[in-house]
Amino acid sequence: MNRERADGQLAQIAETVGLARRLGTRVRLRGGWAMDFFLGGLTRDHEDIDWFVPAADAPALAAGLHELGYRRLDGPPPGQQFDVVKDGSESSFALVDPRPDGRVLVAGGPWAGTAWPDGLLDGPVGRLGGVECPIVGPELQIEIKRMMPVWDPRRPRRAKDAEDIARLRAALA
C-alpha cells in the first residue's frame, strides 16, 4: 500500500469535509474510501476519492475547492458530476438532487431523474486516522457496488468491488 498517497488523500478528505462544513454544504463520501471510513482502517490503495454532493451546493463547493488549490478536470457532463485534482489525487463529486419526500435523484446527465437507493444521504459518520466524515452507509455501498454494472453496462465488474463487498458483508455479519 502506498502510505504517502493514502495520507495525502486522507488529508484531502479532511480538507473537503472542513470546507463543506464552512459552506453549509452536505457532502457524503462514497466508494472505497467510504468503506475504509466505515471499517476504521485502510484496506487498499485508492485511485481517487468519490463523493456525493447536492447539485444546488456544487457551484459553491467547486469554487471553494478551487481556492484551496484544486484544479477542475474535464469529464462527465457538468450537471452529472465534477472532478478535481490536487497534488496528483483526483476527487469526483457525483451531483444528486435530494427531494422533499426523501428520495435522492441523479441530478444530471443521461440518467437525470433516476432515483438512487433509499437512504443514500442518511449514512453514518465514519472515522479514520482522526478524521470524521459523513459516508454512504455500508448496506448501500454494497448495493451500489453490486448494481453499478447493471445500471451502467459500460462499467464492468471489478475485482476490487467484489473484495469490498466481501469486506463490508463480513463487518456487518
Residue 101 has phi, psi (to 5 degrees) of: -80, 5
d(CA 27, CA 120): 11
Confidence of residue 11 (pLDDT cuts 50, 70, 90): very high
Question: What is the reported pTM?
Answer: 0.93
Q: Retrieve residue 138's grid coordinates.
A: 455500508
- Per-residue pLDDT at 118: 93
More confident call, 71 vs 146: 71
- Per-residue pLDDT at 76: 83
- Per-residue pLDDT at 64: 98
Q: Of 67, 63, 71, 66, which Cα lies nearest the Cα of 87? A: 71
DSSP 104-155: EEE-SGGGTTPBPPTTTT---EEEETTEEEEB--HHHHHHHHHHHHHH-TTS
Task: Tell me how crowded residue 23 is: count the other CB atoms within 10 A of its CB.
Answer: 14
- Per-residue pLDDT at 75: 83
**For the purposes of burial, counting CB atoms within 10 Å of the CB of 32, is it exposed (0-12), middle (13-18) or buried (19 or more)?**
buried
- Per-residue pLDDT at 95: 97
Task: Tell me how crowded residue 40 is: count the other CB atoms within 10 A of its CB.
Answer: 11
Confidence of residue 168 (pLDDT cuts 50, 70, 90): very high
d(CA 64, CA 69): 9
19-28, 62-71, 74-83, 144-153: segment of lowest average pLDDT: 144-153
- Per-residue pLDDT at 153: 74
Model confidence over 12-66: pLDDT tens digits?
Answer: 999 999 999 999 999 999 999 999 999 999 999 999 999 999 999 999 999 999 9
d(CA 31, CA 69): 23
Q: Which residues contact 66 (CB under 8 A, 6 or more apart)?
A: 72, 84
